[in-house]
């Protein structure tokens, strides 16, 4: 069989719905590895694919899923993205396909108070609701997000958007404070009106790659609404 790149395996054509039979053993192998189902531009994953024995989060499988998404969008996978600087999180909730992310801090400069961060979200994934408080080392974080690929819905404080309740992921539906929505498409950006606002984001059905521009990020100032969220 002719060798195929990841991009060819994932199916570049817009709107193409590829079956396991159309790709021979390739698609079946992808599904077995990451629990994936391909439809058009979107990839869907079964949550159990990202957990090993005892429900331990499988960082390698998670990274492979993000690398596949990067290939899909022709996003360059640099050596640094293959190294330890690239991290994944399920936030300790055990529902990675709903609440999870990957990221890399390109720069986080305390002296000059600026940060550059890349955020990677699989289809439908959310970063849990959180906010940033002032610390001894940093002001309350100011941030904006520039969508590179896919799209996201940003949630911030303010007048709730009509019908927002049904669109908030189940894990946060009863506790989320941020209920004002902004859909951000590729090339566009969104930002918080005020430092310290509670906020979260949810990827669309094609996943998302988002550049964050912000003031210095101090982990000590990070707070989460969900009581069970952990970063360990």
pLDDT at 44 (0 to 100): 65
pLDDT at 229 (0 to 100): 97
Q: Which domain holds residue 112?
A: 78-224
3-state secondary structure of 152: strand
- 73 assigned to some structural domain: no
- 14 assigned to some structural domain: no
- 69 assigned to some structural domain: no
* DSSP class of 27: H
- Tell the residue number behind the tokens 């990957």, with chain if given: 102
CB–CB of 130/222 below 8 Å?
yes
CB–CB of 202/126 below 8 Å?
yes
Q: Which of 108, 107, 119 is nearest to 149 (CA)?
A: 119
pLDDT at 159 (0 to 100): 96
- 10 assigned to some structural domain: no
Q: How far is CA 77 from CA 63, 72, 163, in A?
A: 12, 11, 38
In angstroms, the CA 211 to CA 74 distance is 16
- 104 assigned to some structural domain: yes
- Residue 181 belongs to a domain with what CATH number? 2.60.120.10
- 175 assigned to some structural domain: yes
- 68 assigned to some structural domain: no
Q: Which of 176, 126, 135 is nearest to 156 (CA)?
A: 176
* DSSP class of 87: E
Regions of the chain with pLDDT less than 70 = 1-44
| Tokens, residue 169 | 């992921």
Quote the number of domains for the chain.
Answer: 1
- 90 assigned to some structural domain: yes
pLDDT at 49 (0 to 100): 92
Q: Where are the alpha helices (DSSP H) in the chain?
A: 6-10, 25-34, 59-72
Q: For the stretch 34-43, what's the b/e string if a residue is b when 16 or more beta carbons lie within 10 angstroms of its beta carbon?
A: bbbebeebbb
pLDDT at 43 (0 to 100): 65
């Amino acid at each position: 069989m002719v060798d195929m790149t990841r991009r060819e395996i994932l199916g570049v054509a817009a709107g193409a719905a590829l079956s396991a039979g159309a790709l021979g053993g390739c698609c079946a192998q992808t599904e077995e590895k990451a629990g994936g189902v391909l439809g058009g531009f979107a990839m869907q994953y079964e949550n159990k694919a990202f957990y090993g024995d005892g429900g331990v989060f499988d960082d390698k499988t998670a990274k492979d899923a993000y690398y596949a998404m990067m290939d899909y969008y022709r996003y360059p996978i640099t050596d640094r993205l293959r190294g330890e600087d690239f991290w994944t999180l399920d936030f300790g909730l055990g529902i990675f396909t709903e609440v999870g992310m990957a990221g890399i801090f390109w720069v986080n400069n305390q002296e000059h108070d600026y940060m550059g961060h890349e955020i990677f979200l699989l289809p439908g994934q959310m970063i849990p609701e959180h906010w940033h408080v002032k610390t001894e080392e940093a002001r309350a974080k100011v941030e904006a997000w520039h969508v590179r690929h896919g799209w996201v819905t940003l949630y911030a404080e303010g007048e709730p958007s009509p019908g927002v309740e049904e669109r908030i992921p189940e894990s946060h539906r009863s506790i989320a404070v941020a209920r004002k929505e902004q859909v951000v498409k590729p090339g566009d950006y969104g930002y918080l009106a005020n430092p310290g606002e509670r906020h979260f984001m949810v990827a669309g059905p094609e996943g998302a790659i988002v550049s964050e521009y912000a003031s210095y990020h101090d982990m000590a100032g990070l707070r989460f609404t969900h009581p069970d969220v952990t970063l360990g």
